[in-house]
C-alpha cells in the first residue's frame, strides 16, 4: 500500500472515530469532515444547511496532537454547537452593503425618509457584525465551551482530573504552535480560566471527601 493510500485511510478512520464521539442527540445532523482549504483553522464548525452543522478538521495539523488532546478539542467544538455559538449564515454584510448603497442613492435624490431607513439598516447590521466579532464575547463563549467539553469528556468515560489535564495539554500545544500573537493570547486566556476551574473542582472534590473521611475515622 502506498504512503498516500495509507494516509488517506488513516484520515478516514480518524473522521469515523470522531463521529463516535458525538453525543447521540447530535449524530443525525452533525457532520465531521476534513477541510480542503489552504491554511485553515485546526477545527471549526459552520452551518451548511437549515438543520445541518459541519465540523471541519485540518487533518494534517490534527495528526500532530495526542488522542486525548484531539478528543477534548473536538468536544470543545461539540460544546459550541450545543451552546448555539457557531457562526450562522449571516445577513449582516449583505444588509450593510444594501444600506450603504441606499444611503448614497438617497443622498443623490434627497429623499429624507428613505435616507433615514437606509442609515437605520446600516446601523443595525453594523451593530450585529460588531457583536459577532467582539473579542470579549467570543472569548467568554470559548471558555464556556471548554467547561462543557470537560463535562462531555466525563460523559464519555474520562475522570474529571484527566479531562482537565487533556484539555490543558491541548491548549498548551496550541499556544506553542500558534504564530499569531492575537490567537495565542486567546489560548493563553482560555488556559488560565481552565486552571482556575480545575482548582475549584479539586477543592470541591476534597471538601466532599473530607466529611466522608471523618465518618470513617471518628475522633
- Name the more confident of 96 and 149: 149
pLDDT digits (tens, 9 = 90+) for 131-184: 445 578 889 999 999 999 999 999 999 999 999 999 999 999 999 999 999 899
Question: Is pLDDT above 50 for 109?
Answer: no
- Angle, CA of 22, 137 and 186, to the nearest 5°: 75
Q: Determine the pLDDT at residue 88.
A: 59
pLDDT digits (tens, 9 = 90+) for 121-144: 555 545 554 444 557 888 999 999
Q: Determine the pLDDT at residue 213.
A: 54
Percent of the chain past pLDDT 90, that is, above it, reads: 55
Question: Is pLDDT above 50 for 35?
Answer: yes
User: pLDDT tier at 197 (50, 70, 90 boundaries)?
Assistant: very high
- On the 0-12 / 13-18 / 19+ scale of CB atoms within 10 A, 61 is middle
- For residues 148 and 167, give the distance between their C-alpha atoms in angstroms, rounded to a whole number: 11
Q: Give yes or no for a contact between 21 and 156, defined as CB atoms under 8 angstroms apart.
A: yes
For range 66-87, the mean pLDDT: 94
- Name the more confident of 113 and 15: 15
pTM of the model: 0.76
* Mean pLDDT over each residue of the chain, to the nearest integer: 81
Mapped onto helix, strand or coil, the DSSP state of residue 85 is coil
Question: Is pLDDT above 60 for 48?
Answer: yes
Distances (CA, A) of 218 to 8, 213, 214: 61, 8, 6
pLDDT digits (tens, 9 = 90+) for 9-25: 899 999 999 999 999 99
Mapped onto helix, strand or coil, the DSSP state of residue 217 is coil
Amino acid at each position: 500500500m502506498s504512503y498516500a493510500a495509507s494516509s488517506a485511510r488513516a484520515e478516514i478512520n480518524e473522521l469515523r472515530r470522531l463521529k463516535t464521539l458525538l453525543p447521540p442527540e447530535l449524530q443525525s445532523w452533525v457532520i465531521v469532515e476534513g477541510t480542503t482549504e489552504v491554511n485553515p483553522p485546526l477545527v471549526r464548525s459552520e452551518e451548511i444547511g437549515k438543520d445541518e452543522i459541519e465540523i471541519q478538521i485540518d487533518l494534517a495539523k490534527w495528526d500532530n496532537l495526542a488522542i486525548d488532546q484531539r478528543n477534548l478539542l473536538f468536544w470543545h467544538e461539540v460544546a459550541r454547537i450545543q451552546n448555539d455559538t457557531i457562526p450562522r449564515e449571516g445577513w449582516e454584510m449583505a444588509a450593510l452593503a444594501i444600506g450603504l448603497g441606499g444611503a448614497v442613492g438617497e443622498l443623490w435624490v434627497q429623499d429624507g425618509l428613505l435616507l433615514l431607513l437606509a442609515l437605520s439598516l446600516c446601523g443595525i447590521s453594523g451593530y450585529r457584525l460588531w457583536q459577532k466579532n467582539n473579542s470579549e464575547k467570543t472569548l467568554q463563549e470559548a471558555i464556556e465551551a471548554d467547561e462543557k467539553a470537560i463535562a462531555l469528556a466525563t460523559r464519555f468515560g474520562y475522570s474529571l482530573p484527566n479531562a482537565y489535564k487533556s484539555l490543558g495539554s491541548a491548549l498548551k500545544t496550541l499556544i506553542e504552535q500558534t504564530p499569531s500573537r492575537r490567537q495565542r493570547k486567546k489560548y493563553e486566556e482560555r488556559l488560565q480560566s481552565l486552571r482556575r476551574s480545575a482548582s475549584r473542582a479539586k477543592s470541591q472534590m476534597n471538601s466532599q471527601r473530607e466529611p466522608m473521611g471523618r465518618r470513617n475515622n471518628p475522633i
